[in-house]
Amino acid sequence: MTDSAPSRLLVETREIDPVEDLLEFTDPASPLVWLRRGDGMIGFGSAARIEVRGATPRGARARTLAQAWRSWSAAAVVHDEVGVPGTGLVAFGALAFDDTSPSSSVLIVPAVVVGRRGARSWVTRIRTEGAAEVGPVAPRPYGPHWSATVGPGELGPEGYQSAVREALTAIADGDLGKVVLARDLVGTVPADADLRRLSRALSTGYPDTWAYAVDGIIGASPETLVTVSGGTVTARVLAGTASRGADADADTAASLALTTSAKDLDEHAYAVQSVLATLRPHTSALTASEQPFALKLPNVWHLATDVEGELRNGGSALDLVGTLHPTAAVAGTPTDVALAAIRRLEPFDRGRYAGPVGWVDARGDGEWAIALRCAQFGAADATSGTIAVVAHAGAGIVAGSDPESEMLETRVKFRPIVDALA
């Protein structure tokens, strides 16, 4: 674990004139972003950071981060004249999918946060006691347009179908009920690429998703892992996917086929029960709709179920992240058996793909999504003048899954990030 934990954080939030484009205020090379329908916040600089590395038991990384966050929050001195979600002391976070991953899990407290919610905009400045305040952060014009060079990774279409067949054998043998398998694309972008352009393309093209950027992972997720606000817990479960139709009639038919598909309904039920079983010990009055609804996105239909309850044990959003992740929607069931199958069948480490990404405030409130429809960026290579980039997309495998259809589903799920990279 690496930890730049301060003895005390001094935090001041004040209202500012309306901000039209939040992305102009974040770092072009390393953006910190959380946006949905134009509202949200960006971060700039780093007042504090904690990074957890090395193999740990499932959920231990999130617990370590949650404990550190409670300590930081308890010691902080906060002056917040705005008092809406996202003001005061906040941290952006991104966790590895697998706690045995060599990739780290991180919480970052920005030196400056610029946010907007409805008609109100604000700036929060955060510093350690005794440190100088960061100077004014001015909007920066976007850099030139750029495009990525992206191609097949370690698991191409044929290899992916082979992995699906192996998973189906394990399911038929009764070893597990569902496993989510991903494949990868790899490539490069120019070393001086303004990565805010990727966030802008995703947030504009997919406004109903969570557009996020944290420590090199950038994407637009349709799936809320958990939201905590004033003691109310909400989550949206997505599992079961169909491509949008080419015209209105075909689109209606695609939606109907998805909502009546026994295979997709079974896959969705696994995911919903996983979330309900995990949340039940931590909540009261937990409810979920009896039947999933079809969620329409620009490129796909998803089966979706909204879950809501009341937090009853004084926990935070980050505590629930550690409890919920990984859900059956991104791993499978039983969880430990599914994780073992993923490690065996995927020839790569997922890094932070399909891990939790979001933010938490000093009260423990926050919004966390699952890092989907994303790309992960490495450090710039001075020799080649490029930055390595990897993207992943997955599909849930259950009894009755067809290897070719599952591969085609991943192709559809790649589209948002591949189009944005281009």
Residues annotated as catalytic (active site), given as ranges: 178, 223
Angle between helices 157-172 and 403-421 (to 10 degrees): 140
Tokens of 403: 């290897």
Residue reference for tokens 């899990």: 105
Count of Cβ atoms closer than 10 Å to residue 149 Cβ: 13
Question: Which residue in 209, 206, 193, 216 sits closest to 34, CA to CA?
Answer: 209
Exposed / middle / buried, residue 285 (Cβ in 10 Å: 0-12, 13-18, 19+): exposed
Distances, alpha carbon 152 to alpha carbons 58, 156, 170, 403, 416, in Å: 30, 6, 26, 18, 16
Assign 3-state DSSP to the chain and report helix, strand, coil percentages, each to 5: 30, 35, 35
Q: DSSP strand E in 191-288: where?
A: 210-214, 217-221, 224-229, 232-243, 283-288
Would you say 107 and 69 are in contact if contact means Cβ atoms under 8 Å apart?
yes
DSSP structure class, residue 104: -
Count of Cβ atoms closer than 10 Å to residue 54 Cβ: 12
Residue reference for tokens 């030139």: 144
Handedness of CA 40, 44, 46, 52 (dihedral sign): positive
Q: What is the largest CA-CA distance in the chain?
A: 64
Helix spans in 143-261 (H): 157-172, 196-205, 248-259
Would you say 215 and 106 are in contact if contact means Cβ atoms under 8 Å apart?
yes
Question: What whole-number distance in Å separates Cα of residue 161 and Cα of residue 155?
Answer: 9
Tokens of 166: 């192996």
Distances, alpha carbon 8 to alpha carbons 33, 127, 131, 303, 419, in Å: 25, 9, 11, 45, 43
Question: What whole-number distance in Å separates Cα of residue 346 and Cα of residue 132?
Answer: 47
Would you say 366 and 358 are in contact if contact means Cβ atoms under 8 Å apart?
yes
Q: 174 in the Ramachandran plot: left (φ > 0), alpha (ψ -120 to 50) or beta?
A: left
